[in-house]
Amino acid sequence: MNGTFRVGNLFGIPFYVNVSWFLVLGLVTWQYGGALANLFPALGPVVPWMLGLFTALLLFASVLAHELGHSWVAIKQGIGVKSISLFLFGGLANLERESKTPAEAFWVAIAGPLVSLLLSGLLAAIGIGAGLSGPPAAIVGLLASINLVLALFNLIPGLPLDGGNILKAIVWKITGNPYKGVIFASRVGQIIGWIAIATGLFGGQIWNLVIGWFLLQNAGQSAQYATVQNQLAGLTAADAVTAQSPIVPENLSLREFANNYVIGNAQNWRRFLVTDDAGQLVGAIDLDDLKTIPTGTWPQVLVKELVKPIEFSTTVKPELSLLEVVTLLEQLKVQELPVIRENGVLVGLVEKAEIARLLQKRAEADPA
Ligand SMILES: [Zn+2]
């Protein structure tokens, strides 16, 4: 995120704050310092502002504790935490990956609100049990209610909030499909977003408008993303192999190659994969290399004489799920990968563009 910088490490997790955080720090200090100055005139002119700043910092410590709650459970599940960031309204624990089971996802999601609830209860107990009065009682009371609000707000059952993730885990458990969980929780997030916007518009609540907009933005995105993931998970590499993959047998003459493969090939392939008699990949031939051979000798020269070795970072099996293929394409930053059977026979290429076309076609055939 823009304007975010690293402050240090927290239990080995890189810790970032966004510049908007200083705005909130200033606002809370100003507001709460002012309130304390009014409530307790005996404090004089400086102390209320220092207490305001102190309270603002504890507020952020509360948000941080919430994020550490998520992080701790994630780490227990063997999931790395890439970073924790604080920004305008809250925090974010950036996890390396998702949980593998719905139960694990449930615990990661609920851990943050549980920490906030626990802190709220603890602070309330201290406030009452220790018989505090004056500014300390006011500060402890405020922090107790802030932590309660943190817990309750985050439990709203729509993605991207924790409550949405809890709902996702429950639907995942029931349906056995994590993407259905995301889609359902996103839809609920969108509904809550619209309700917040409606109440914001008619009730004049600007915060409801902001929260509603935030929910709609994020829930819409995650629903779309999960819909695609769900489709991809239901397909395999074999389903997406480019129908006329550029594959040519090595024992063909250049003349036959030109006539039957190059002339009139609609995709304008510039490079063809070359296979031996057993169908195994032996290398590639570039159309540019044809130019180095006089046209007259093409009937006598075989494709195999122009073959160059080819390096693919990896190959995929036909039965690999398309979701994993796409993940590989993204990770390796390549446009295509060869699909090769267990016995080494080359099936064809899976291309990013072709996968996109396939999804498009399915979306048109079955508008959900
Ligand atoms: Zn949370």
Stretch 169-175: mean pLDDT = 94
41 CA distance to ligand 1 centroid (A)?
Answer: 37
Does residue 169 lie in a domain region?
A: no
Q: Is the same domain home to 83 and 71?
A: yes
Confidence of residue 43 (pLDDT cuts 50, 70, 90): confident
112 CA distance to ligand 1 centroid (A)?
Answer: 5
Q: Is the same domain home to 202 and 109?
A: no
361 CA distance to ligand 1 centroid (A)?
Answer: 38
Q: Is the same domain home to 18 and 149?
A: yes
Does residue 167 lie in a domain region?
A: no
Confidence of residue 78 (pLDDT cuts 50, 70, 90): very high
In percent, how much of the chain has pLDDT > 70?
98
Res 181 pLDDT > 70: yes
Does residue 304 lie in a domain region?
A: yes
Does residue 358 lie in a domain region?
A: yes
Q: Pick the last residue of a domain from 186, 215, 233.
A: 233
Confidence of residue 172 (pLDDT cuts 50, 70, 90): very high
Q: Is the same domain home to 222 and 281?
A: no
Q: Is the same domain home to 283 and 228?
A: no
107 CA distance to ligand 1 centroid (A)?
Answer: 11
- Higher per-residue confidence, 227 vs 191: 191
Token duo for residue 60: 């952020």
Q: Using CB atoms within 10 A of its CB, is residue 352 exposed (0-12), middle (13-18) or buried (19+)? A: middle
> Do residues 108 and 25 touch, judged by C-beta distance below 8 A?
no
Stretch 304-324: mean pLDDT = 83
Does residue 166 lie in a domain region?
A: no
**Could you read off the pLDDT of 228-286 as tens digits, one per residue?**
888 888 888 888 887 777 888 888 888 888 888 888 777 777 888 888 888 888 888 88
Q: Pick the last residue of a domain from 189, 204, 233.
A: 233
50 CA distance to ligand 1 centroid (A)?
Answer: 29
Q: Is the dihedral of CA 111, 112, 117, 120 positive or negative?
A: positive
Predicted local distance difference test score (pLDDT) of residue 14? 87
Does residue 67 lie in a domain region?
A: yes
Token duo for residue 49: 């502002």
H or E stretch covering 316: none
What is the value of pTM for the model shown?
Answer: 0.71
Q: Is the same domain home to 204 and 245?
A: no
Q: Pick the last residue of a domain from 233, 251, 267.
A: 233
Does residue 327 lie in a domain region?
A: yes
273 DSSP β-pair partners = 247, 284
Q: Is 255 helix (H, G, I), strand (E, B) or coil?
A: helix
Task: Give the C-alpha separation, 181 to 111, whole Å.
Answer: 19
Q: Is the same domain home to 242 and 228?
A: no
Q: Pick the range with the lowest mean pLDDT from 104-108, 134-138, 266-270, 316-320.
A: 266-270
Q: Is the same domain home to 224 and 273?
A: no
Q: Which domain holds residue 255?
A: 237-365
Q: Is the same domain home to 220 and 273?
A: no
Confidence of residue 75 (pLDDT cuts 50, 70, 90): very high
Task: Give the C-alpha separation, 52 to 84, whole Å.
Answer: 24
Q: Is the same domain home to 18 and 86?
A: yes
65 CA distance to ligand 1 centroid (A)?
Answer: 10
Q: Is the same domain home to 256 and 203?
A: no
Domain containing residue 272: CATH number? 3.10.580.10
Stretch 27-38: mean pLDDT = 85
Stretch 158-163: mean pLDDT = 86
Catalytic residue among 67, 104, 351, 354: 67
**Could you read off the pLDDT of 113-144 as tens digits, one per residue?**
999 999 999 999 988 888 777 778 888 988 99
Does residue 163 lie in a domain region?
A: no
Res 110 pLDDT > 90: yes
Q: Is the same domain home to 28 and 99?
A: yes
Domains in the chain, number: 3
- Is 67 catalytic? The answer is yes
126 CA distance to ligand 1 centroid (A)?
Answer: 24
175 CA distance to ligand 1 centroid (A)?
Answer: 24
Task: Give the C-alpha separation, 93 to 67, whole Å.
Answer: 6
Task: Give the C-alpha separation, 328 to 59, whole Å.
Answer: 41
Which residues have their alpha-adjacent CB atom under 5 A from ion ligand 1? 112, 154, 162
- Of 70, 113, 354, 96, residue with least CA distance to 240: 354
């799920």: which residue's tokens?
321
Alpha helices in the chain (DSSP H): 20-39, 47-76, 102-129, 134-154, 162-175, 178-203, 206-233, 237-240, 254-257, 287-290, 322-332, 352-365
